[in-house]
């Protein structure tokens, strides 16, 4: 069964590099309305979160309000967290492209994010880029964010089995090792909730459906809520570096 799960690993991510890559826009705020009133009243100051990554955050193939950042925002608000998540996902992004636009993205925010959610590296893997380059780029991204005292969640990815054991041995440890190095919270494999579940995948068998996104949100919302700095910590955080 484990071999079957690993064989299916390649399916949800094969289209990451197939998505056309557009010039990075100034990120826009996700939709935050809920279909039903939140179970817990939203309280406290607004908590700004930046979702920074590729098509798995951009919401490829989904309607407005169905992306992971949008649904995560709704789930946090249903728990009483006054969350505002900015979706800075760009379909097709590699770690190099993400690093290149990181400063632009941070400087374009109207409010300094308290937490950044990173989902990058899947396209590096599918293009067969050297894991050493992926590690260097992600290291630079995490270094930049942590130097500004911004907390980070790393959404992990695993190498597709067809790339071979040697590639996997170099690629797979990148996420846990960098998360440990920078004190970031790690989600070991972001797509785990939709693997082996065709009904949670789009017709391309590569990206999660809206229901699949909700399954991923359910599996990660508590981690995100726990990763948010305490209100007093957020208030005393230093301003971001001008560099």
pLDDT tens for 150-200 read: 999 999 999 989 999 999 999 999 999 999 999 999 999 999 999 889 999
pLDDT tens-place values along the chain, 243 residues long: 443 343 444 444 444 444 544 445 555 544 444 455 446 788 889 999 999 999 999 999 999 999 999 999 999 999 999 999 999 999 999 999 999 999 999 999 999 999 999 999 999 998 999 999 999 999 999 999 999 999 999 999 999 899 999 999 999 999 999 999 999 999 999 999 998 899 998 887 778 999 999 999 999 999 999 999 987 655 555 444 444
CATH 3.40.50.1110: does it fit domain 2-236? Answer: yes
Residue 207 annotated to the active site? yes
CA distance 50 to 197: 28
**Set 67, 91, 124, 207: catalytic member:** 207
The Cα 77–Cα 75 span in angstroms is 5
Which neighbouring-strand residues pair with 48?
A: 84
Tokens 């967290």, residue located = 81
Between the alpha carbon of residue 7 and those of residues 26, 27, 46, 166, the distances in Å are 37, 34, 42, 16
Q: Which one of 196, 204, 222, 223 is the catalytic residue?
A: 204
Question: Is position 55 annotated as part of the catalytic site?
Answer: yes
Is 54 assigned a catalytic role? no
Provide the residue ranges of all domains of the chain, joining segments of one domain with +: 2-236
Alpha-carbon distance of 54 to 119, in angstroms, equals 6
pTM for this prediction: 0.81
Which residue among 54, 55, 119, 124 is the active-site one? 55
């Amino acid at each position: 069964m484990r071999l079957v799960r690993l064989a299916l690993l390649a399916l949800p991510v094969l289209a990451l590099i197939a998505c056309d890559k557009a010039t990075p826009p100034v990120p826009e705020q996700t939709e935050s309305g809920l279909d039903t009133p939140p179970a817990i009243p939203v309280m406290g100051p607004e908590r700004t979160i930046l979702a920074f990554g590729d098509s798995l955050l951009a919401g490829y193939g989904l309607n407005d309000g169905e992306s992971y950042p949008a649904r995560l925002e709704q789930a946090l608000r249903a728990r009483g967290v006054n969350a505002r998540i900015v979706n800075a996902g760009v379909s097709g992004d590699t770690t190099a492209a993400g690093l290149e636009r990181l400063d632009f993205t941070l400087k374009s925010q109207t409010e300094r994010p308290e937490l950044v959610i990173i989902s990058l590296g899947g396209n590096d893997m599918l293009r067969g880029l050297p894991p050493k380059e992926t590690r260097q780029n992600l290291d630079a991204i995490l270094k930049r964010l942590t130097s500004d005292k911004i907390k980070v969640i790393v959404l992990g990815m695993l190498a597709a089995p067809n790339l071979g054991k040697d590639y996997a041995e170099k690629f797979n440890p990148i996420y846990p090792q960098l998360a440990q190095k920078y004190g970031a919270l790690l989600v070991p494999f972001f797509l785990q909730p939709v693997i082996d579940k065709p009904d949670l995948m789009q017709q391309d068998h590569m990206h999660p459906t809206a229901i699949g996104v909700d399954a991923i949100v359910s599996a990660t919302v508590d981690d995100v809520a726990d990763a948010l700095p305490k209100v007093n910590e957020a208030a005393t955080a230093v301003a971001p570096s001008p560099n």
